[in-house]
Chains A and B, each alone.
Chain A
Amino acid sequence: MDTLGLFNYWVVIFLMMAGFYTVIARGNLVKKIVGLNIFQTSVFILYISLGKVSGGTAPIVSDAATAYSNPLPHVLILTAIVVGVATTALGLALIIRIKEAYGTIEEDEILAMDQKDEGRE
Chain B
Amino acid sequence: MLGLTAMTIIRLRSLFAVVMLFSIYSLLTASLFMVLDAVDVAFTEAAVGAGISTMLMLGTLMITGYREKRPAHSPILPLIVVVLTGAVLVWGTLDMPHFGSPDQPVHQHVAPRYIDDSPKEVGIPNMVTSVLASYRGYDTMGETIVVFAALIGVLSLIGIKKYTNKEPGRTEKPPESILQVAAKLLIPFILLFALYVQFHGDFGPGGGFQAGVIFAAGIILYALTFSLKDAMHLAPPKVVKVIAAFGVLLYGGTGIVSMLKGGTFLNYSVLAHDPIHGQHYGILLVELGVGLTVASVMMLIFYAFVSRGEAD
Residues of A within 8 A of B (CB): 5-11, 13-22, 24-28, 30-31, 33-35, 37-38, 41, 44-45, 48-54, 56-62, 67-90, 92-97, 99, 105-106, 108
Q: Is the CB of A18 within 8 A of B6?
A: yes
Interface residue? B287 (CB, 8 A): no
Within 8 A of A (CB), among B113-148: 114-115, 119, 125-128, 131-132, 136, 139-140, 143, 146-147
> What chain B residues lie within 8 Å of A75 (beta carbons)?
128, 131-132, 136, 139
Known: A5-B99, A17-B82. 6 other contacts (CB 8 A): A30-B18, A44-B33, A51-B38, A70-B115, A82-B48, A96-B63
Best-surrounded residue of A22, A41, A62 (most CB of chain B within 10 A): A41
Q: Is the CB of B48 within 8 A of A52?
A: no
> What chain B residues lie within 8 Å of A9 (beta carbons)?
90, 93, 96
For chain B, the bracket of interface size reads: 35 or more
A83 shortest CB reach to chain B, Å: 5
Complex CA distance for A16 and B81, rounded to whole angstroms: 13
Q: Is the CB of B150 within 8 A of A89?
A: yes
Complex CA distance for A61 and B122, rounded to whole angstroms: 12
Q: Is the CB of A21 within 8 A of B15?
A: no
Complex CA distance for A73 and B110, rounded to whole angstroms: 11
Q: Is the CB of A37 within 8 A of B36?
A: no
Interface residue? B111 (CB, 8 A): yes
Q: A51 is contacted by which of B32, B48, B94, B106 (Cβ under 8 Å)? A: B106
Provided the pairs A21-B79, A72-B110 are in contact, do residues A88 and B294 lie with their beta carbons within 8 angstroms? no
Complex CA distance for A33 and B64, rounded to whole angstroms: 14
Q: Is the CB of B131 within 8 A of A71?
A: yes
Q: Is the CB of B64 within 8 A of A96?
A: yes
> What chain A residues lie within 8 Å of B119 (beta carbons)?
61
Q: Is the CB of B39 within 8 A of A58?
A: yes
Q: Is the CB of B48 within 8 A of A72?
A: no
Q: Is the CB of A62 within 8 A of B94?
A: no
Whose C-beta in chain B lies nearest to the C-beta of A79?
Answer: B143
Within 8 A of A (CB), among B21-51: 22, 25-26, 29, 32-33, 36-41, 44-45, 48-49
Interface residue? B167 (CB, 8 A): no
> What chain A residues lie within 8 Å of B26 (beta carbons)?
41
Complex CA distance for A74 and B135, rounded to whole angstroms: 14
A7 shortest CB reach to chain B, Å: 7
Q: Is the CB of A69 within 8 A of B37?
A: yes
Complex CA distance for A51 and B100, rounded to whole angstroms: 8
